[in-house]
Amino acid sequence: MTRGAMAERLRLASYLAGRSLRSLLSRTPAAPLTLGNVTVPVPERLLIAPQDLRTGDPTRASEIYAGRFAFAGKIAMLEGKTPFELDPPSDEWAEVLHGFGWLRHLRAAGTTIARANARALVGDWMRDAGVARQVAASPEVTARRIISWLTQAPFVLQDADHDFYKRFMRSLARQVRSLRRAVSDAPDGYPRLLALIALMFAGLCMSDQSRLLRAAQKRLVEELDRQILPDGGPLARSPGMLIALLLDLLPLRHAFAARNQPAPPALMNAIDRMMPMLRFFRHGDGAFALFHGMSHTAADQLATILAYDDARGAPVANAPHAGFQRLEARGTVVIADTGAPPPLSLSNEAHASCLAFEMSSARHRIIVNCGMTDVNRARWRQVARATAAHSTVTVGETSSCRFLHAGRLTRTVGAPIVSGPREVPVQRGTREGAILVRARHDGYGEPFGLLHQRSWRLASDGARLDGEDLFSPVPGRESLPQVAYSARFHLHPAIEVERLDDPWKNWKFSLNDVAERALWAKYQAAYQEILRHTSAKHAPWFVVPSDHKWFARVVISSAIVNAMEKLDLHYPKRAADGTASELKKARIVLEHEHRRPAVRKKRAARRPAQIRPANTAETSPDEPKGHDS
């Protein structure tokens, strides 16, 4: 077993042991004020309802009313059942269904029918055994459902009878108790933060929950301080997490104001740090760079969040804690990943994208990464996380990070990164007005003994970006291994590529070209030898440049004309006997045969349409059908 493999096993064992210990401690009675021993009484009433910053679509309400539930790229028809009785077409579909975020679409419709439909579906969930489904009871889905119910409570409970109101409150309390016990089992990163945010909302919105609020606030402050880095980037290194988290933290800040309570300073500071990072990851068209699980940018959600940014300043250029660099000049933007993978517990959505970059000019995306799909994420996750899905260099067609692929463990802990770049030194500066960034990683050190260094130089006018990739042996090795390298630059689908006429700007290069260049003289000799043995006077060969089709056609046509002229072809002489008169007669016959169909066709075109009475017998094709006028 190699040293790297041993380190991977030790790292994974340490992670699993810590995970088990946290789960055990969460169930052990400890200090008086912990989530593990806080009681959650059934509330008598709801004090406030949180804001919902996510946009509702009233057309989706019509689909739901018609029994058509389209979530996460899958569609399910009710056909007389409740949606919670159906076999879900995918886990992602079930997560959205049991999260109840779709209630906002019914609220956006704002009709009496939509309200009755929402109340009926909530009632179905409270009665149905679907709550026992594993996906419905997961901490992340439970947290989203609690937030959705609290947010849409004014809409759902309006005109509701007393019995429904009481059942709604009992169900909310039961779900909060379940989440309180499971919060330590929630996956690290956004799911754990979401669970704590949901408990905070419950403590603020439900009556008689002061102890729950204090305990949840203590845990949330600890997690925000740990997961939101000093430059505002998330410890999980996911740009998409910024959007999702702010969509929940901003309403939480507003909920404190609605209760006339001061928001925790850690909450306010985290929001203030995260806001500038939103602008850091934005391209000129407003979309986010596709790093570490980021998919399509919801423009409406991003615009809503930015409306809360009072500073509205320029984005930061250097995010050393988050592990990213931004180069910007005159509308040209380059965003580069210059960081090591996140901690193992936070790396389930992280990508092997060290030294990958994206580039845009004004509102045009040029070089991008593949990113993650919005639907069927489980199917495409492994492909999207590979280094080859990013605009960087791969060595030996392998990724710079190694993912966990053990079947049983994967079902338990997912597919975190178990090894990858450990050190990524970064240098940043300017030269003659141009922005210079240089970074290096050792992700290929263990398998290949290589260090990869990449440099970017963006001109002051933004019109030129120069880059360089350099490989060097790790300390202790004197030479580079014989292994293939692939430099990939993924182009945005809107970009059209054309071959340049300038040979100095038309660059195609492979490392093997260096060795093959030494054989150039032998190639030329073999080329001439082929022509010498195959080209003959009666059947010459021609070497035609084919860079441009029009030029190749001109050369080929000229060769054909020259060959025809050298044949010295002449028309045959007319015979002196009677052959000429016979040929003349044959010519007349042929011309007559050639013209006859055209004359008939012309006459047929001038002939007026014949209308036959209904009792007229059908004529055969050989019989005349009328007279010419």
pLDDT tens profile 386-422: 999 999 999 999 999 999 887 677 777 889 999 999 9
Q: 82 and 3: one domain? A: no
**115 within a domain of the structure (yes/no):** yes
Question: Which one, of 137, 134, 72, lies nearest residue 101 by Cα?
Answer: 72
**289 within a domain of the structure (yes/no):** no
Q: Which amino acid is at 333?
A: V
**9 within a domain of the structure (yes/no):** yes
Residue 618: is its pLDDT beyond 60?
no
Query: Mean pLDDT throughout 199-225?
Result: 97
What value, to the nearest 5°, has the Cα angle with vertex 212 and ends 209 and 217? 125
Q: 3 and 97: one domain? A: no
pLDDT band for position 604 (cuts 50, 70, 90): very low
Q: What is the pLDDT of residues 77-128, one digit of tens each?
A: 998 899 999 999 999 999 999 999 999 999 999 999 999 999 999 999 999 7
Contact criterion met (CB below 8 Å) for 80 and 92: no
Q: 100 and 171: one domain? A: yes
CA 280/CA 299 separation, integer angstroms: 16
Q: 135 and 212: one domain? A: yes
Model pLDDT, residue 601: 44
26-40, 373-387, 486-500, 526-540: least confidently modelled range: 26-40
Cα separations in angstroms, 294 against 373, 387, 505, 536: 8, 15, 33, 63
Q: 14 and 94: one domain? A: no
pLDDT band for position 608 (cuts 50, 70, 90): very low
pLDDT band for position 32 (cuts 50, 70, 90): very low
26-30, 99-103, 377-381: least confidently modelled range: 26-30
Structure tokens at 256: 């404190």
Question: Which one, of 335, 343, 342, lies nearest residue 318 by Cα?
Answer: 335
Bridge partners (DSSP) of residue 455 are: 438, 468
Q: Which residues contact 188 (CB under 8 A, 6 or more apart)?
A: 343, 345, 346
Q: 42 and 68: one domain? A: yes
Instruction: Give the whole-number percent of the chain exceeding pLDDT 90.
Output: 63
Q: For the range 620-628, what are the long-range contacts, defined as Cβ-Cβ under 8 Å and sequence gap of 24 or more? A: 628/603
Contact criterion met (CB below 8 Å) for 155 and 107: yes
Contact criterion met (CB below 8 Å) for 462 and 468: no
Bridge partners (DSSP) of residue 69 are: 76
**325 within a domain of the structure (yes/no):** no
Buried b (16+ CB within 10 A) or exposed e, 72-93: bebebeeeeebbbebebebebb
Query: Mean pLDDT throughout 369-374?
Result: 92
Query: Mean pLDDT throughout 559-572?
Result: 82
**63 within a domain of the structure (yes/no):** yes
Model pLDDT, residue 582: 78
φ, ψ at 279 (rounded to 5°) = -75, -25
Residue 380: is its pLDDT beyond 90?
no
Q: 146 and 181: one domain? A: yes
- Of the ranges 285-294, 498-507, 543-552, the best mean pLDDT one: 285-294
Model pLDDT, residue 252: 98
**148 within a domain of the structure (yes/no):** yes
Query: Mean pLDDT throughout 456-477?
Result: 94
Model pLDDT, residue 295: 92
Q: Which amino acid is at 381?
A: R
Model pLDDT, residue 526: 84
Model pLDDT, residue 10: 72
Residue 276: is its pLDDT beyond 50?
yes
Q: 99 and 184: one domain? A: yes
Number of Cα atoms under 13 Å in the Cβ half of residue 559:
12
* Domain end point (choices 555, 578, 606): 555
Model pLDDT, residue 263: 98
Model pLDDT, residue 362: 94
Q: 24 and 47: one domain? A: no
Query: Mean pLDDT throughout 576-584?
Result: 72
Model pLDDT, residue 18: 66
Neighbours of 242 (CB within 10 A): 24
> How many domains are contained in the chain?
3
CA 195/CA 520 separation, integer angstroms: 66
pLDDT band for position 320 (cuts 50, 70, 90): very high
Higher pLDDT, 531 or 579: 531
Model pLDDT, residue 26: 53
Model pLDDT, residue 626: 43
Q: 95 and 196: one domain? A: yes
CATH code assigned at 91:
1.50.10.100
Model pLDDT, residue 629: 36
Cα separations in angstroms, 75 against 9, 64, 70, 89, 97: 41, 11, 4, 8, 11
Residue 606: is its pLDDT beyond 90?
no
Cα separations in angstroms, 255 against 273, 433, 531: 20, 47, 84
Question: Which one, of 228, 144, 218, lies nearest residue 186 by Cα?
Answer: 144
Q: Which residues contact 428 (CB under 8 A, 6 or more apart)?
A: 318, 325, 435, 436, 437, 438
pLDDT band for position 619 (cuts 50, 70, 90): very low
Q: Mean pLDDT score of the chain, rounded to an integer?
A: 86
Cα separations in angstroms, 606 against 69, 304, 481, 612, 626: 63, 71, 83, 18, 13
221-235, 487-501, 517-531, 549-563: least confidently modelled range: 517-531
Beta-sheet pairing, 417-419 with 426-431: unpaired
Contact criterion met (CB below 8 Å) for 467 and 391: no
Buried b (16+ CB within 10 A) or exposed e, 15-54: beeebeeeeeebeeeeeeebbbebebebbeebebbbebbb
Q: 21 and 45: one domain? A: no
**419 within a domain of the structure (yes/no):** no
6-15, 368-377, 447-456: least confidently modelled range: 6-15
**180 within a domain of the structure (yes/no):** yes
Helix (H) or strand (E) holding 95: helix 91-99
Query: Mean pLDDT throughout 261-286?
Result: 96
Q: Where are the alpha helices (DSSP H) in 386-480?
A: 407-413, 445-448
Cα separations in angstroms, 417 against 235, 352, 382, 405, 421: 14, 9, 11, 10, 10
Residue 25: is its pLDDT beyond 60?
no
Q: 67 and 213: one domain? A: yes
Range of the domain at 534: 517-555
